[in-house]
Structure formats: structure tokens, C-alpha cells
């Protein structure tokens, strides 16, 4: 279906105002500090994948504030320090599994994935939400910014990144992060809230420019919020205030590492203008790849670009620098 959104030339100029609350900095400063300080209590359980020269492990670590977060860890069976990639997944899905990460592990990159709490993986959501919510995760805890689901999910993403960077065999100065949709949102948030990554590759990112997204998006998770507010119209201002803390629009200026974003113009789940809103606020080295006729998906060609970017940045390989034909 054609795009529901504004013309491309308008999106390139679209710079909505930030709408941070007065305590926005302190909210994330204290959350980030707590996320890093809380013991990980990580457990790596050997798993027989059968890939030559690759060690594979099921991972468990403590989630932000409680519960256990699940994931997978792959590394080459070699000596010396390895660069690392942390993978985040899409809404209602589960983290990358071993074969998904194998091509990178075979290049000599340590790979970690994370199941988002309470979604379709093996991670627990131990947070307690005072009242009910629409089915899904968009409105869990939306009445209170400190108890909002995505505060916990963003903190879990930071903790996964810490687990990877603190591994004895990992070079903490060569870390990248990536993910699509919700995973793209977690990638942006982790890049904003941690100094660990040197490269962020968010694809068709979710949780961007909430104020516009909930007004125009017909499909996917964003409509959970209007559905909730139909039942509680007196909570519109409260909900927008809570969402403002986890809107990557407001976090974007904090991102310092190189960031390459994919954006599809027929996307009716994560509208392209909401992604441009974040991109246009980035002050870091940045690049956006625009795919005019794709929907909520990542084109094969973009996966090739990401592979080249990751190997060049983390391993020093050649040939990844430029944009693709579809690029910005």
C-alpha cells in the first residue's frame, strides 16, 4: 500500500520540537546508573550448536529490578580480544537465536542477543504494574513514568550491553548494537544511554515521535495507546508525559556514536516521518537509507550494507563506507 505519510522532501525537513519534562535528565541519569550498578549475576550455559570453531551458550542475567533475562551468546573459539555485537528484537518476538548470529560469529565477532522481558521469548517481567493495560506492552505502567514498561526494557538493553562489554574475551572499545522495529528503538535508546557502542544500526525503529505516531499509525502496536485512551480519556496528558521519557525523539541528541538507520516509505507500522523526526535530531555521524517501496521490513540489500559496516568498523575490513544506491 502507498505511504500514509508526508512526502519525502517534507520528511527530510521535519524537525518536531523536543518535549522533555524538567526531570528528564535526572530520570535517565539515575536509571542508567542503577542499571549499570545492579549485579548482573550472569550465567552462561554451554549449548551444542555443532558449528566448527564456535562456542555457543544460553544466557541468563538479572533484569532491571528483578527477574531473569534470557538470550544467547556466540563467540569464535580463538585467543585474543574479540569485538562484539548486541542484537535486540522486534515487538512481541524473541531474540536472535544462534544460527541467526552465526555469520557474524564466524567473522570473529562475539554476539549477544536478549529476549525482551515478558514477550515471546524466555525472559521474565518481574515488574509490578499498579493497574491494567491494553493487551500488549505499550500501556503497561503508562500512568507512572518510573513504572513504565519501556523504562525497564531500555534498562535491560543497557544491562545486556554491559554483559557483553564486560566479558573477558571481548574488547569493550569495539562494540556495536543493532535491531529492527522495537529492536531499532532499543538500539537508539542504548546508544543514547550508554557510552559503550561505537556503531548503532537501528532498522525501521519503533518508539519514535510518539505524539505523531499515535495520531497517524493504523497498524501495529502504536494503536494500543489510543485504544487505552478511549477507555481513559482523562489520562491523555498523563500518558503523553510518561511516553515522553521513552520517546527516542527526546533521547536522540544524546547519541554520539556513528548511526545508520533504515527507513521504508510504505511502512504503516513505524511511519517514516517518525523515524526522520529522530534522525533529524541526531548530532552524531549519521546516515539514513531510504527504501521507497518497502513496508515494515528490512530489505536484503540493507542486510548486506550492515554486514559490511559491521565488519569494517569492528574488524577493520574494507569496502563498507558508502551509502547504497537507495541511500540518503
- Residues with a known catalytic role: 181, 267, 296
Burial 71-87 (b: 16+ CB within 10 A, else e): bbbbbbeeeeebbbbbb
| DSSP β-ladder status, 68-76 and 54-62 | antiparallel
> How far is Cα 170 from Cα 164, in angstroms, rounded to an integer?
7
Burial 145-175 (b: 16+ CB within 10 A, else e): bebbbbbbbbbbbbbbbbbbbebeebeeebb
SS3 84: strand
Q: Give me the residue label for grid cell 554451554.
A: 46
Grid coordinates standing for 177?
548494537
> How far is Cα 140 from Cα 227, in angstroms, rounded to an integer?
13
Handedness of CA 122, 127, 131, 136 (dihedral sign): negative
Q: For residue 250, give the H/E element and its range.
A: helix 248-251
Classify 245 in phi/psi space as left (phi over 0), alpha (psi -120 to 50) or beta.
alpha
Amino acid at each position: 500500500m502507498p505511504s500514509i505519510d508526508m512526502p519525502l522532501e517534507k520528511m527530510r525537513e521535519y524537525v518536531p520540537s523536543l518535549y522533555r519534562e524538567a526531570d528528564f535528565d535526572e530520570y535517565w541519569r539515575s536509571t542508567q546508573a542503577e542499571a549499570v550498578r545492579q549485579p548482573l549475576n550472569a550465567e552462561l550455559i554451554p549449548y551444542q550448536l555443532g558449528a566448527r570453531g564456535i562456542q555457543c551458550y544460553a544466557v541468563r542475567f538479572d533484569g532491571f529490578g528483578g527477574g531473569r533475562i534470557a538470550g544467547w551468546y556466540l563467540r569464535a573459539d580463538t585467543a585474543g580480544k574479540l569485538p562484539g555485537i548486541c542484537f535486540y528484537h522486534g515487538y512481541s518476538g524473541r531474540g536472535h537465536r544462534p544460527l541467526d548470529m552465526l555469520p557474524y560469529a564466524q567473522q570473529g565477532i562475539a554476539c549477544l542477543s536478549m529476549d525482551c522481558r515478558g514477550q515471546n521469548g524466555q525472559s521474565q517481567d518481574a515488574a509490578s504494574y499498579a493497574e491494567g493495560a491494553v493487551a500488549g506492552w505499550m500501556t503497561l505502567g503508562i500512568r507512572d513514568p518510573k513504572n513504565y514498561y519501556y523504562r525497564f526494557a531500555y534498562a535491560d538493553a543497557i544491562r545486556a550491553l554491559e554483559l557483553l562489554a564486560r566479558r573477558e574475551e571481548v574488547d569493550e572499545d569495539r562494540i556495536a548494537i543493532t535491531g529492527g522495529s522495537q529492536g531499532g528503538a532499543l538500539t537508539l535508546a542504548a546508544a543514547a544511554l550508554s557510552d559503550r557502542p561505537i556503531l548503532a544500526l537501528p532498522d525501521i525503529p519503533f518508539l519514535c515521535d510518539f505524539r505523531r505516531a499515535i495520531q497517524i499509525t493504523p497498524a501495529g502496536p502504536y494503536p494500543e495507546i489510543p485504544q487505552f485512551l478511549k477507555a481513559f480519556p482523562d489520562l491523555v496528558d498523563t500518558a503523553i508525559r510518561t511516553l515522553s521519557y521513552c520517546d527516542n525523539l527526546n533521547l536522540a541528541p544524546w547519541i554520539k556514536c556513528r548511526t545508520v538507520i533504515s527507513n521504508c516509505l510504505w511502512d504503516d507500522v513505524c511511519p517514516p516521518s517518525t523515524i526522520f523526526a529522530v534522525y533529524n535530531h541526531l548530532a552524531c555521524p549519521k546516515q539514513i537509507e531510504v527504501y521507497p517501496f518497502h513496508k515494515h521490513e528490512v530489505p536484503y540489500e540493507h542486510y548486506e550494507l550492515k554486514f559490511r559496516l559491521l565488519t569494517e568498523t569492528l574488524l577493520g575490513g574494507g569496502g563498507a563506507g558508502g551509502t547504497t544506491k537507495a541511500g540518503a
